[in-house]
Chains A and B, each alone.
Chain A
Amino acid sequence: MSLGIEVDMSSPLMYGTPSSRVEGTPRSGVGGTPARQRPDLGSIRKAPQVDLHSDADGAVASEQALGQKLVIWGTDVNVGTCKEKFQRFLQRFIDPTSNEDENAGLDLNEPLYMQKLEEISVVGEPVLNVNCSHVQSFDADLYRQLISYPQEVIPTFDMAVNELFFERFPDSILEHQIQVRPYNALKTRNMRSLNPEDIDQMITISGMVIRTSQLIPEMQEAFFQCQVCAFSTRVEVDRGRIAEPAVCRNCNTTHSLALIHNRSAFSDKQMIKVQESPDDMPAGQTPHTTIVYAHNDLVDKVQPGDRINITGIYRAVPMRENPRQSNVKSVYKTHIDVIHFRKTDEKRLHGLDEDSDQKLFTEERVQILKELASKPDVYDRLSSALAPSIYEHEDIKKGILLQLFGGTRKDFSQTGRGNFRAEVNILLCGDPGTSKSQLLQYVFNLVPRGQYTSGKGSSAVGLTAYVMKDPETKQLVLQTGALVLSDNGICCIDEFDKMSDSTRSVLHEVMEQQTLSIAKAGIICQLNARTSVLAAANPVESQWNPKKTTIENIQLPHTLLSRFDLIFLMLDPQDEAYDRRLAHHLVALYYQSEEQIEEEFLDMAVLKDYIAYARTYINPRLNEEASQALIEAYVDMRKIGSGRGMVSAYPRQLESLIRLAEAHAKVRFSDKVETIDVEEAKRLQREALKQSATDPRTGFVDISILTTGMSATARKRKEEVAQALKKMIQSKGKTPAMKYQQLFDDLRGQSEAAITKDMFEEALRALADEDYLTVTGKTVRLL
């Protein structure tokens, strides 16, 4: 190193400043590559090294020999050992089980960080991100030092890396020396648990960016010039202050030095406000915020709204002492100097995988969950823990439970089929006042990324996305609506039937393709909306009419209905035993003791974790028997219909069967979908169909009610009427025009079955479609 001349070379704190940059063409090698200041590690403090054994000052020269005894003042860090340890870590650390996406494409059986260094030499970006958990598993003591004394240890790491790097790649040219950025300090905590003990330690916290400031130039080094003799001197900023030299060293004039701004060195700095993420907060309190400073190239890396993990050093600065006041406020200002950002929702946007919400489960918690999963009746237990205040409706609860778990996500984009939907959609219809909304509210409260909207109040834009002017930046920004916000969650839509047609049409894309296309105000994009939809609809006539089909009762287009995996009716069963149990349940609700209520709340927490765990870690696949069972089930379903000359199952039904079976396997924490899962899926689907797709005229379950909006018998009858009408007109001979009313009366007289005006008109329309006749006003003309 040829840069520092008068300073102690061995000090890790000796950092070249921008002023010491070598002008001209960059050369390679440690010496040739300029170092860059790290304001993230705080102002450069001239911390002396202390020799533990002797006070002799000769330590500087023979640093290697005496290395073992030398520590940085105030710490137990020995520079030499620390450097050596870290180099060993870099050279030897292997993590064969790594699944971080950052390590994609690296050979997991080779030293991980050496490969990364190689990458640096190729790409030329002089930043090395180091996962602290790797350091910990490699050398716990080194890790402890890193956490406790980041300000001293990280520069040592930098030195170690650079030596190693330029030894290996002596010819590579970098913009500046490599900087080590540790992340994922295992002491990850939420903002709320930060306390005075964490000051000056390295921490990792998670949160959401709420504000970013403008770029602030921060002076790193002041440049002074003597007004008398033009002698110049540089003064480094120490803890936000510049010691202005009073005397010129050259000509000894006092107070002759003036600050020259444009020759002083500045670094970029940005203030970022981070707010605690809503999931980490205790109920009933407001979220905390923390100020974070980003330096140099970390400036402008994050935007308001991003969810991030921040690794940095926690600082507390006393409020500035005011020389004119004798006493000061006794409060410290706290902030975090950021070393590393990691966006937690980045992956969500790219749709790579779903373990972005790495919810941390403690060992015991996992144990409890697994224990629960091993119980044979876990499925029933969970479904009864779901919304205990709502009475019965077991199958509906089970359906919703499966929806909460969801199927396995499959990617067929290679074969051109795109993503398969893994989310289960459920529609509840039924009489008003059957606690549908309550069920929706419960689900909304249970899942972390849930949205609740009412069809009455929401518009297409509210569900999808809209463009608005950001009040701060005055730029057009895309504001996402409920469906996008509930990506990977559940979107609960109440009063589904009250929704306007245009709004509903948005759902077509979401519920099958799981994406949302937007073309608004010059912004054309496709957003992910992998959301499950849980909708509730009321019948058109305030009461459910058992004489009508589902479609007729709720008046929703069949194209939309067929996208629901399960459609349940929530009806008042109106039988005495049920009434009694219901009454008992409700009365109990009103006087149960505190403890019992307490117990249930515990259940809700367990249920939450159980679902989160299963969603994150369990990805069941079909086994051979299950596939066979599914095939059989589908064939059986097709067969039922074929006997009566109608289609009784479509591939959509098969797909939803698979999803339900997978979800059921997830409930059992099983990696394999087995026959029992298929059985339950079949049962649930049958149950739902029995409720929603029974043709009231025949009493048979008829899938075409949902898929085409009309039962097969109804269609057949329509056909018959049309044919009868045609026959009748033909029998009349050559009459080019007929009176409408007369034709209707004739048909009525001829037919045995009662013919309504609607049926007659439908028949006319059908014949008009055949180009057999046209209807103009009150006359019917043959063509």
Chain B
Amino acid sequence: MPSSHDWINKPLGVVEAMFAQSNSNPEWEAKVLEYFKGQLKEKESHSWVPSLNDVPLHYLKPNSLVKFRCLVQDMFDPEFYMGVYETVDPSTKANVLRCGKYKDVTECGVDLNSRNTVTAERQTFYCVPIPGESPWAKEISFLSAARVVPSTSYVPSRQKRSYEEDDDDMDTQPQKQREPHTEPHGNGDSKRQETEAPSSQTTTPSDCSSHLDLNFPLPGERGPACLVKVYEGLDSFKLNDTLEIYGILSVNPVLTVLGEEKDPSLLLLNPTESMETPEEQRAHDPPASLVPRLHMLYARPLQHNNPLLPSAPTEDQSAFVSSFLVEMASVRAELLAYLTHVLLGDGLAAEYLLLHLISDVYTRRDVLPLGKFTLNLSGCPLNSYTERLYQIVQQLVPCSYRLSMSLHTMNSMRLVPKKDYVANRLVSGALQLARNTSLFLDETQLEQGQLDSSGVRNITALGNLISWQKVDYDFSYHQMEFPCNINVLVTSEGRSLLPSDCQVPLQPQVTPPNMEEYLTTIHMAQFTSQINKFRVYLSLARTLDYSISDEVTKAVEDDFVDMRKDDPQSVTAEDLHRMLVVARLLSLSLGQTTLSRDGWMRAKHIDMLRRSRTEQQKSLNGNEP
């Protein structure tokens, strides 16, 4: 453990030293970035940087280097700031050049008329913690990061306990209706927040002191939101990107005070200030104690937020991948067995669920997203089975959200983000999710009744999400399309009212008298190490490359022609689409990066099984469409 952590504790000192050396040669800016990048490249060094996600804000030193794992929720307008300015020392009357980069406020005595002032541009992103991040992912990243926290006085002491607590929850309080994203601590609290959230979103509070709406995409989310000041590479960032940002924390109380005082006479003369509505001011300049500012030095786009996997594509990762590939098949078998138990002994459904969990929109061809695999699990038993199922899924994937599609939520919830022009910000909605988030749509909650117009809009939005993997954000004068990459799993009684790529009717082999108990026992039987393996497996399988050889292409073509020959109605282009996706996912799930003939036959086989099952279901129910 190195003794000098100046670049973490006093990054501004480093910046200023470089600025002083530069003699206003603009290259110093690149040098600063280079320096911090270099420091972070060193082994383990990034784990010394305290994370805003794990350490409470008041334990962090102002103006120190921190990191933040987040989602870009909104992008504000670019702002001009004093990149270089001159101050006049009141005692000596000497002019001093100063650097304004990576800072919110200037030193005293700025000479506004100085000719040496350099105006520069930066942009502010409003970032929130990754929505729907599973508690286990938070816990593990917390554990691994908090080994050395040189710049804080904060000693994490309760993490070990709460991690167990999380597991305990499953067995000690089985009756308790756990909310999907309840955190291990403060159950009741987050529940209350959840009921509050919708109302506080619709009505903007009128006075400044009232509860601040931090604009999280999902109700009941917690954690710090952050205003990230971005200096370089503005075009490379996109809305909804997940990033790990390294930057200088700024919590200067001046930021808050500035907006508070309002002298009416001054306002008359300086109307620029009165131009911002109070709502806008609140959204753009919230108190720094609640929404800290982060001046970005370095940002790393995250492929995934699974803390068990090395996140950067380095040699590290490839070594990790190749070592894990060996185990792949055996882990798959174990996971399949586990899922089969969870799905009441239905092996086929378990197979499909597994494929669904590793699916990913890997590319788009004009408007067509390729690789999406929305699964509709129909015939789910009622009475909180789906809830328990979600909890199990949540234990496996790093990001998830369960949307209970009850009539009330569909009518009242905001799914699609909407631009609020009064506050000049993008009001988030539940469909503003990070890539590869598992969205669990629980249609068993749907009851009879009438959807109102917002309900219809929400259903349309979900349909668009499933069919095209895009969400049309509402900019009130027009809509703007944002592509997304969300794994949608629909559980329903009959066929879902939403479109899906593939429907699997669940055929329970066992009917446990007590569902809760049954599932809990299955869950308990797994060791944490085992579960961790599953977690790594699911994240890893998704990142593998995939190709089809010419030979197999030919075989697939022949096969398709043959199938059509017998009965052209039985296999359509759509079926071929689906089978190709299934084949891809099946190969990847076995750690194979090319499609083999066997792989294709297997894909065809399980698709046949699934189809015969749906047919059977149709004839059974008769009235099914």
**B77 contacts the other chain (CB 8 A):** yes
Pick the residue among A194, A208, A328, A445 that contacts B106 (CB under 8 A): A328
Chain B 235-271 interface residues, beta-carbon cutoff 8 Å to A? 235, 237-240, 254-255, 257-258, 261, 266, 268-271
B91 CB to closest chain A CB, in angstroms? 14
Contact B564 A584 (CB under 8 A): no
In-complex Cβ contact of A457 among B75, B258, B419, B456 (8 A): B456
Question: Residue of B at shortest CB range from A593?
Answer: B547
- Nearest CB on B from A529, distance (A): 17
**How far is B255's CA from A580's CA once the two chains are assembled, in angstroms?**
66
Distance A583 CA – B363 CA, assembled complex (angstroms): 19
Q: Which one of B80, B108, B366, B421 contacts A331 once the chains associate, using CB atoms below 8 Å?
A: B80
Query: Which has the most chain A C-beta neighbours within 10 Å: B75, B100, B109, B477?
Result: B477
Residues 566-585 of chain A: 1 if any B CB is under 8 Å from the residue's CB, otherwise 0? 00000010101001101110
In the complex, residue of chain A having the shortest beta-carbon distance to the beta carbon of B78: A288
What B residues does A304 contact at CB under 8 A? Answer: 477
Say which residue of A218, A283, A331 sits within 8 Å of B79 (CB atoms).
A331
Q: Shortest Cβ distance from B194 into chain A, in angstroms?
A: 27
Q: Answer yes or no: B320 CB below 8 A from chain A CBs.
A: no
**Shortest CB–CB separation between residue A780 and chain B, in angstroms?**
39
CB pair B239 A587 closer than 8 Å? no
Which of A328, A445, A543 has the largest number of chain B CB atoms within 10 A? A328
Chain B residues whose CB sits within 8 angstroms of the CB of A334 once the complex forms: 79-80
- Expressed in whole angstroms, the Cα–Cα distance for A275 and B548 within the complex equals 46
Q: Of all chain A residues, which has the CB nearest B552?
A: A587
**A318 and B112 in contact, given A587-B553, A600-B365 (Cβ under 8 angstroms):** yes
B258 and A322 within 8 A (CB) = yes
Q: B-facing mask of A396-423, CB < 8 A → 1, else 0?
A: 0000000000000000000000000000
Q: B77 to chain A: which residues have CB within 8 Å?
A: 288-290
Q: How far is the CB of B397 from chain A (nearest CB, A)?
A: 24
Say whether B272 faces chain A, with CB atoms less than 8 Å apart. Answer: yes
Chain A residues near B334 (CB, 8 Å)? none
B98 vs chain A, min Cβ distance (A): 10
| Chain B hits for A584, CB < 8 A | 553, 557
Q: Are the C-beta atoms of B573 and A284 separated by less than 8 Å?
A: no
Which residues on the B side are within 8 Å of A281 (C-beta)? 480
Q: How far is the CA of A219 from the CA of B475 in the complex (A)?
A: 35
**A587 engages B580 (CB within 8 Å):** yes
Interface size on A, residues (CB 8 A): 84
Q: A583 and B561: CB pair below 8 A?
A: yes
CA distance in complex: A391, B104 (Å): 55
Bound-state CA distance A335–B270 (Å) is: 14
Q: Do the beta carbons of B104 and A330 come within 8 Å of each other? A: yes
Alpha-carbon gap, A288 to B425, bound state (A): 11
A329 touches B272 (CB 8 A): no
Query: Does chain B have a CB within 8 A of A500?
Result: no
Query: Does A231 touch B at the CB level, under 8 Å?
Result: no
Is B30 interfacial (CB 8 A cutoff)?
A: no
Q: Mark A310-324, 1 if CB is under 8 A from B, else 0.
A: 000000111111100
> Are B104 and A389 in touch, CB under 8 angstroms?
no
Complex Cα distance, B422 from A414, in Å, reads: 47
Q: Is A271 an interface residue (CB 8 A)?
A: yes
Is A199 touching B363 in the complex (CB atoms < 8 A)? no
B115 to chain A, nearest CB (A): 11
Least CB distance, B322 to chain A, in whole angstroms: 22
CA separation between A291 and B276, bound complex, in Å?
10
Task: Let me know if B560 and A219 touch, CB within 8 A.
Answer: no
Chain A, residues 263-305, CB within 8 Å of chain B (1/0): the string is 0000001010101001001111111111100000000000011
Interface pair B370/A589, CB less than 8 Å apart: yes
Q: Is the CB–CB distance between A195 and B121 below 8 Å?
A: yes
* Measured CA separation A590–B573 after assembly (Å): 13
The distance from the CB of B486 to the nearest CB of chain A, in whole angstroms, is 15
Contacts of A195 in B (CB 8 A): 121
Q: Which of B75, B468, B565 contacts A576 (CB 8 A)?
A: B565
**A316 x B119 contact (CB < 8 A):** yes
In the complex, chain B residues 543-576 whose Cβ is within 8 Å of any chain A Cβ: 546-548, 553, 556-557, 560-561, 564-565, 568-569, 572-574, 576
> Does B82 make an interface contact (CB < 8 A)?
yes
Residues of B419-450 at the interface with A, using a CB-CB cut-off of 8 Å, are: 419, 421-422, 424, 426
Residue of A nearest to B266 (CB): A320
* CB–CB B106/A583 < 8 A: no
Pick the most buried of A240, A331, A332: most chain B CB atoms within 10 A of its CB: A331
B105 at the A interface (CB under 8 A): yes
Question: Main SS of the interface on chain A?
Answer: mixed
- Interface flag for A438 (CB, 8 Å): yes
A-side contacts of B426, CB under 8 Å: 286
| Minimum distance in angstroms from A46 CB to a CB of chain B | 15
CA–CA, A437 and B456, complex, Å? 20
Q: Which of B79, B456, B568 contacts A572 (CB 8 A)?
A: B568
Complex formed: what's the CA distance from A179 to B257 in Å? 43
Note all chain B residues with C-beta closer than 8 A to A437: 467
**Distance between A438 CB and nearest chain B CB, rounded to angstroms:** 6
Is residue B176 within 8 Å, beta carbon to beta carbon, of the partner chain? no
**Which residues of B sit under 8 angstroms from A106, Cβ to Cβ?**
none
B81 within 8 A of A: yes
Contacts of A321 in B (CB 8 A): 110, 112
Q: Which of A110-118, A120-128, A209-217, A349-357 lies at the interface with chain B? A: A209-217
Q: Does B304 contact A (CB under 8 A)?
A: no
- Tell me which residues across on chain B come within 8 A of A328, comparing CB atoms: 105-106, 110
Of chain B, the residue at the smallest CB distance from A582 is: B573
* Option from B119, B268, B483, B580 in Cβ contact (under 8 Å) with A332: B119
Q: Chain B residue with minimal CB distance to A431?
A: B572
Q: With a 10 A CB-CB cut-off, give which of B74, B367, B483, B553 has the most chain A CB atoms.
A: B367
User: B388: CB under 8 A from chain A?
Assistant: no
CA distance A574 to B237 in the complex (A): 47
Query: Contact at B477–A305, with CB atoms within 8 Å?
Result: yes
A623 contacts chain B at the CB level, 8 A cutoff: no
**Within 8 Å of chain A (Cβ to Cβ): is B333?**
no
Instruction: Tell me if B584 counts as interface (CB < 8 A to partner A).
Output: yes
CA separation between A291 and B565, bound complex, in Å? 65
Q: A196 in the interface, Cβ–Cβ < 8 Å?
A: yes
Q: Does B273 contact A (CB under 8 A)?
A: yes
| B336 vs chain A, min Cβ distance (A) | 24
Question: What's the Cα separation between A284 and B237 when bound, in Å?
Answer: 8
Interface contact A572-B572, CB-CB below 8 Å: yes
Identity of the chain A residue whose Cβ is nearest the Cβ of B101 in the assembled complex: A330
Residues of the A chain whose Cβ atoms lie less than 8 Å from the Cβ of B104: 329-331
Closest to B571 in A: A579
Give the shortest distance, in Å, between B411 (CB) and chain A (any CB).
16
Docked CA distance A576–B254 (Å)? 75
The distance in angstroms between the C-alpha atoms of A582 and B367, with both chains bound, is 18
> Do residues B561 and A317 form an inter-chain contact, with CB atoms below 8 A?
no
Residue from A213, A291, A582 having most chain B Cβ neighbours under 10 A: A582
Whether B81 lies near A574 (C-beta < 8 A) is no
- A388 contacts the other chain (Cβ, under 8 Å)? yes
Within 8 A of A (CB), among B493-537: none
Contact B85 A330 (CB under 8 A): yes
Residues A284 and B483 in contact, CB atoms below 8 Å apart: yes
Closest 10 CB pairs of A and B: A284-B238, A326-B108, A583-B560, A196-B119, A583-B557, A389-B365, A574-B568, A332-B80, A591-B548, A441-B367
**12 extra A-B contacts, CB within 8 A, seeds A240-B271, A441-B468, A580-B561:** A284-B482, A285-B238, A286-B239, A329-B104, A331-B81, A438-B367, A457-B456, A543-B569, A583-B576, A584-B553, A597-B365, A600-B365
Could you list 18 examples of A-B contacts with CB < 8 Å?
A195-B121, A196-B120, A208-B477, A211-B421, A275-B475, A286-B480, A305-B477, A322-B261, A325-B257, A329-B255, A331-B81, A332-B119, A389-B366, A579-B564, A580-B560, A582-B573, A583-B556, A590-B584
Q: Which B residues are within 8 Å of any A CB, using their own CB?
A: 74-75, 77-82, 85, 100, 103-110, 112, 119-121, 235, 237-240, 254-255, 257-258, 261, 266, 268-273, 275, 363, 365-368, 370, 419, 421-422, 424, 426, 456, 460, 467-468, 475-478, 480-483, 546-548, 553, 556-557, 560-561, 564-565, 568-569, 572-574, 576-577, 580-581, 584
